[in-house]
């Protein structure tokens, strides 16, 4: 199978490339990158620059077809071609809660959102704290998955925060990081040992930073909205206190720490300072935390209930600033599917979590890039080369010889979010009905088009 992606604006943050070139894909790899890679124009028609006209087939595409054999030419004129997006934080719910999501539906949702790889968190049932669960996930993903799946193993057995899981075996069987995501490791001594131990394999420890005592029975950010609605609040300090602790432990152990879903201004400040000191820390922010605030909870909207909670406008601005100055390395979704009946409950009772695979790219483009807050190349880096770097994945770049994992998107396409059209099994998004700009056109995994608009 030979595919030519012709005339697209290729943006590869890893190499710094941002230009209109063709990509030739063969046998799952990128084999050639360049202007007019088939030589069609040079001899016969002269070297015309490809036209950036959308809607009709560009000259580059027509030229390409006239030359040597390819099975398919994808006309990418006016579109952006970038390394396949990597979502380093999803919940696929399989094994255990297949009514909410499966590896098949979760990866298809990812593909629809432009992701070619996802990292799935271990809070399944059973928990991914042993080789057999990791292998089950990898086998199922190979058979049924639309995109690559990289499992994240548990830090502690059963996520109970009592004893270390067999991190060595989890590493050998294919886990790319360890985390008790959904729960913090409350015992600081155990977290220290986890960092030391994971450090032997140079595995990043992904920390869900939350002091459970400070969170208490909290269900929303502690702020004006919690006060007005009479809901128990989770103070920003619940996250930031744990961020501070884990930064100190990372400094103590020299281990690699990745802080999941940063939501509070205080956390961004602490991480910025730690990075300046040389602590080996990276972190991620979710689209909902940079696109929404606590105001979205009004009306007791359970689709705006997640942990960490949506915070204040000043926190949101701090997240934006952290994304812009590089304090926040990665954009990840924390895609957390829940059934309609689970969410259609009293606010206190409904589970935490929102889905994000199918809106992340468009929210990044609409909220961060279109506003001028973040240059397009930087935004793409946070969805490709940065997660690949942190997890040491051989992904997230466009180069001759590299895996042909590519995302083609239209930065100008306007669309309305319709949760009921999602590939995900679940519908729990706070963005239903939103008008967004920027849509996936095609998602290519190992040279195969796995999703196409």
Partner 1 sequence: MGLARKDLLRMQDLTADEIRLILDTAESMKQVAGRDIKKVPALRGKTLINLFYEASTRTRTSFEIAGKWLSADVINVSTSSSSVAKGESLKDTGLTLQAMHPDIVVLRHPASGAAEFLAKQLAASVINAGDGAHEHPSQALLDLFTIREKKGRLEGLKAAIVGDIAHSRVARSSIHGMRKVGMEVRVAGPRTMLPCFIDRLGVEVFTDLERAIADVDIIMMLRLQLERQQAGLFPSLREYSRLFGLTLPRLKGAKSDVLIMHPGPINRGVEIAPEVADGPYSLILNQVENGVAVRMALLYLLAGAPQAG
- Applying CB under 8 A, the residues found at the interface with partner 1 are 216, 222-224, 226-233, 299-300, 341, 344-349
Cα distance between residue 104 and residue 94, in whole Å: 9
Please, what is the minimum distance in Å from the beta carbon of residue 448 to partner 1?
43
CB 316 within 8 A of CB 289: yes
The distance of closest approach from Cβ of residue 236 to partner 1 in the complex, given in angstroms and rounded to an integer, is: 11
Our CB check for partner 1 shows the closer of 200 and 232 to be 232
Give the separation between CA 392 and CA 394, rounded to whole angstroms.
7
CB of 215 to partner 1, least distance (A): 13
Q: How far is CA 401 from CA 25, 91, 383, 388, 430, in A?
A: 9, 31, 21, 17, 40
Query: What is the pairing mode between strands 17-26 and 29-34?
Result: antiparallel
User: 27 an active-site residue?
Assistant: no
> In 3-state terms, what secondary structure has residue 43?
helix
Give least dist CB 317 to partner 1, A. 18
- Using CB atoms within 10 Å of the CB of residue 352, give its burial: 0 to 12 exposed, 13 to 18 middle, 19+ buried: middle
Marked catalytic residue, from 129, 181, 315, 334: 334
**284 or 342, CB closer to partner 1?**
342
CB of 313 to partner 1, least distance (A): 13
Q: Which residue, among 243, 225, 348, has the nearest Cα to 292 in the 3D structure?
A: 225
Rank residues 143 and 213 by Cβ distance to partner 1 and give the closer one.
213
Instruction: Determine the length of the chain.
Output: 453
Assess contact for 387 and 86: CB atoms under 8 A. yes
Asked if residue 115 lies in contact with residue 106, where contact means CB atoms within 8 angstroms, the answer is: no
Residues with catalytic function = 334
């Amino acid at each position: 199978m030979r595919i030519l992606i012709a005339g697209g604006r290729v943006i590869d943050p890893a190499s710094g490339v941002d230009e209109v070139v063709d990509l030739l894909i063969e046998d799952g790899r990128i084999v050639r990158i360049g202007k007019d890679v088939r030589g069609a124009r040079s001899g016969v028609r002269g070297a015309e620059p490809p036209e950036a006209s959308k809607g009709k087939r560009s000259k580059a595409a027509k030229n390409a077809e006239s030359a040597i054999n390819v099975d398919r030419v994808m006309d990418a004129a006016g579109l952006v071609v970038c390394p396949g997006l990597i979502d380093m934080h999803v919940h696929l719910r399989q094994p255990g809660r297949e009514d909410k999501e499966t590896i098949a539906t979760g990866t298809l949702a990812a593909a629809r959102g432009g992701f070619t790889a996802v990292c799935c968190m271990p809070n399944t049932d059973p928990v991914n704290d042993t080789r057999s669960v990791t292998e089950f996930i990898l086998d199922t993903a190979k058979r049924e998955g639309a995109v690559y799946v990289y499992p994240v193993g548990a830090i502690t057995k059963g996520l109970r925060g009592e004893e270390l899981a067999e991190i060595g075996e989890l590493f050998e069987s294919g886990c790319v990081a360890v985390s008790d995501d959904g729960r913090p490791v409350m015992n600081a001594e155990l977290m220290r040992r986890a960092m030391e131990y994971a450090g032997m394999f140079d595995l990043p420890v992904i920390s869900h930073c939350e002091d459970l005592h400070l969170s208490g029975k909290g269900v929303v950010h502690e702020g004006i909205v919690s006060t007005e609605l009479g809901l128990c609040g989770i103070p920003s300090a619940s996250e930031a206190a744990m961020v501070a602790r884990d930064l100190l432990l990372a400094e103590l152990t020299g281990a690699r720490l990745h802080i999941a879903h940063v939501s509070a201004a205080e956390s961004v400040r602490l991480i910025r300072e730690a990075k300046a000191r040389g602590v080996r820390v990276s972190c991620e922010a979710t689209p909902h935390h940079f696109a929404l605030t606590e105001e979205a909870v009004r009306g007791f909207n359970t689709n705006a209930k997640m942990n960490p909670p949506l915070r204040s406008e000043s926190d949101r601005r701090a997240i934006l600033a952290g994304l812009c100055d590089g304090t926040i390395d990665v954009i990840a979704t924390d895609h957390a599917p829940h059934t309609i009946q689970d969410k259609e409950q009293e606010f206190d009772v409904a589970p935490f979590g929102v889905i994000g695979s199918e809106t992340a790219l468009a929210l990044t483009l609409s909220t961060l890039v279109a506003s001028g807050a973040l240059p397009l190349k930087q935004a793409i880096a946070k969805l490709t080369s940065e997660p690949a770097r942190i997890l040491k994945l051989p992904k997230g770049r466009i180069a001759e010889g590299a895996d042909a994992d590519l995302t083609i998107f239209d930065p100008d396409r306007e669309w309305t979010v319709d949760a009921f059209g999602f590939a995900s099994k679940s519908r729990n998004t706070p963005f239903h009905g939103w008008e967004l700009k920027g849509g996936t056109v095609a998602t290519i995994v190992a040279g195969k088009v796995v999703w196409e608009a």
